[in-house]
């Protein structure tokens, strides 16, 4: 009953979208297919948009820790998640309003409201621990869907994001703006980090390749976990391979150190001498969507801590 009520509410809020076959059937053109190593490849800026150098990450963490010290949050909110399970048990659920912006070129990329709802459902399952791993106590609720029929924005969102984001952005620092478009260069998406919000709030948000949504046409990357991964960055998580095998790593104590990003879904991958195999099933690695299943409790605790510092 609740699902039917939500659907009725959304039907009133959202402009009509085309019905018909699934994303894959409707949009399965050759140029919508990403390379099998899609998450290992770079965008127009020379590296994956959310890769940080060790020096950049160290600077971010120093600033974050200064903010946290000023908030006097206590040991349960340490950013490395070392008190992760206790911290998560005490954490208040974070409910995030989402404005979904469909950027399309006529019929191409004009995903239906049902497909948008399935992507939101995938986010809730991922962050709720329903595919495995920890329940991060983060949930998402769709507020509205906008549609922009613009061939230039659709085909080159990296070039035009400075144009469309200020026009489309809704809400404040705790509101997720999620944009779908066609992303070339075998890149599946990118995100802004929460510590960037204050300097440029209208650019805040997550952009994904529309064909990576659940049922999309990109082989190995069509379960909607590209959005899960990018929203992880929006919430303050690094890649699991951040800083490689160094002691700092991704600043989460219960994700084993990892030198190299994962391609596909290998078993027994172990690129660092420290304990534990590489976290190939973690949403913040680069594995296939079929390989991704989980966040850790430490990642959930870090999300809540970073949220208090930058998005609460």
| pLDDT category of residue 240 using cuts at 50, 70 and 90 | very high
Contact 210, 111 (CB under 8 A): yes
Model confidence at 231: pLDDT above 90: yes
pLDDT in tens, 90-111: 789 999 999 999 999 999 999 9
CA 125 to the chain's CA centroid: 13
Q: Which residues are within 8 A (CB) of 12 and not within 5 positions of it... i.e. 6 or more apart? A: none
Q: Which structure tokens are listed for 121? A: 């459902």
Q: Is residue 154 within 8 Å of residue 168, measured between CB atoms? A: no
pLDDT at position 246: 87
- Given 48, 115, 230, 258, which residue is catalytic? 230
- Residue pLDDT, tens place only, 48-92: 678 899 999 999 999 999 999 888 665 444 555 554 566 677 789
Candidates 208, 199, 167, 169; CA nearest to 49 is 208
pLDDT top residue among 1 and 292? 292
State the residue for tokens 């894959």. 24
- pTM equals 0.85
Sign of CA dihedral 271, 273, 277, 280: negative
Lowest mean pLDDT among 20-24, 37-41, 134-138, 302-306: 20-24
Whether 230 sits among the annotated catalytic residues: the reply is: yes
Q: Check pLDDT > 90 for residue 250.
A: yes
Instruction: Please spell the DSSP secondary structure of 208-270, one letter per residue.
Output: EEGGGSTT-SSTT--SSHHHHHHHHHHTTPPPTTTTTTSSSTTS-TTS---SS---S--SS--
């Amino acid at each position: 009953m609740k699902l039917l009520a939500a659907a009725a509410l959304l039907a009133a809020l959202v402009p009509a979208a085309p019905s018909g076959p699934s994303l894959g059937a409707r949009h399965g053109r050759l140029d919508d297919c990403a390379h099998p190593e899609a998450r290992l490849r770079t965008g127009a800026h020379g590296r994956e948009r959310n890769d940080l150098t060790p020096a950049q990450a160290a600077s971010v963490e120093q600033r974050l820790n200064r903010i946290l010290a000023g908030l006097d949050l206590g040991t349960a909110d340490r950013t490395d998640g070392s008190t992760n399970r206790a911290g998560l048990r005490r954490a208040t659920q974070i409910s995030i309003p989402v404005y979904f912006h469909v950027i399309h070129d006529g019929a191409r990329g004009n995903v239906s409201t049902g497909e948008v709802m399935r992507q939101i459902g995938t986010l809730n399952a991922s962050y709720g621990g329903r595919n495995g791993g920890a329940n991060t106590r983060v949930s998402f609720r769709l507020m509205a869907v906008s549609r922009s029929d613009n061939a230039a924005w659709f085909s080159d969102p990296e070039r035009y994001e400075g144009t469309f984001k200020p026009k489309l952005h809704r809400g404040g620092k705790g509101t997720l703006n999620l944009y779908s478009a066609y992303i070339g260069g075998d890149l599946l998406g990118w995100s802004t980090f929460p510590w960037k919000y204050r300097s440029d709030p209208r650019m805040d948000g997550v952009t994904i390749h529309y064909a990576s949504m659940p049922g999309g046409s990109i082989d190995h990357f069509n379960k909607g976990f590209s959005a899960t991964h990018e929203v992880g960055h929006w919430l303050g998580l690094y890649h699991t391979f951040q800083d490689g095998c160094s002691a700092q790593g991704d600043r989460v104590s219960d994700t084993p150190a990892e030198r190299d990003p994962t391609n596909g879904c290998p078993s027994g991958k172990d690129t660092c001498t420290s304990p534990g195999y590489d976290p190939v099933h973690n949403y913040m690695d680069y594995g296939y969507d079929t390989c991704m299943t989980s966040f850790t409790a430490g990642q959930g605790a870090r999300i809540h801590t970073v949220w208090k510092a930058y998005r609460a």
